Amino acid sequence: MPLRPATEADLDTIIELIHALAEYEREPEAVRLVPGELRRHLFGPRPYAEVILAETGEGASAGFALFFHNFSTWEGKPGIYLEDLFVRPEFRGQGYGKALLAELARLAVERGCARLEWAVLDWNEPSIQFYRALGAAPMDEWTTYRLSGEALATLARG
């Protein structure tokens, strides 16, 4: 199955896949992206993230992985954080998800990364089982925190 890095010409496809992911995660109203900003953040002079697209043999989009680099101070090496992994429902069970994760693992090794990490919603049992079958281990002792909106602005003001 063909995998390839996304290009700026793929922006509409990426946005469509992001909306499909939000529907699957039961939060379609949470998508507030602005296409021009997403274009700049993915393909501008200083890209913040990268996208790998999975396609069918006929060139239709089957899914995507959006990721970026983080850094481990304890390892003294970069890592890859998988922000989004999504395979359209009609293509699930055909190896697209595993292929996307294998490509990210390959990139992590090639780039000298210490690890590949991601989060999964606690109700998403099919994905949890899929990740465990690949050998991924949950990090139950960690709790993720987030600052956004007014709380972020308040802290930034000091």
Burial class (CB in 10 A: 0-12, 13-18, 19+), 25: middle
The candidate with the shortest Cα–Cα distance to 10, out of 55, 57, 56, 73, is 55
Distance (Å) of CA 130 to CA 56, 97, 126, 149: 21, 9, 6, 33
Spell out the domains of the chain, with CATH numbers in brackets.
Answer: 3-157 (3.40.630.30)
Q: What is the pTM of this model?
A: 0.94
Please state, in angstroms and rounded to a whole number, the distance separating the CA atoms of residues 106 and 132: 19
Burial class (CB in 10 A: 0-12, 13-18, 19+), 69: middle
- What does the pLDDT look like over 56-103, one tens digit per residue? 989 899 999 999 999 999 999 999 999 999 999 999 999 999 999 999
pLDDT at 80: 99
Answer yes or no: 145 catalytic. no
Q: Is the pLDDT of residue 35 over 90?
A: yes
Spatial neighbors of 151 by CB under 8 A, at least 6 apart, are none
With a pLDDT cut of 90, the percent of the chain lying above it is: 98
pLDDT at 59: 87
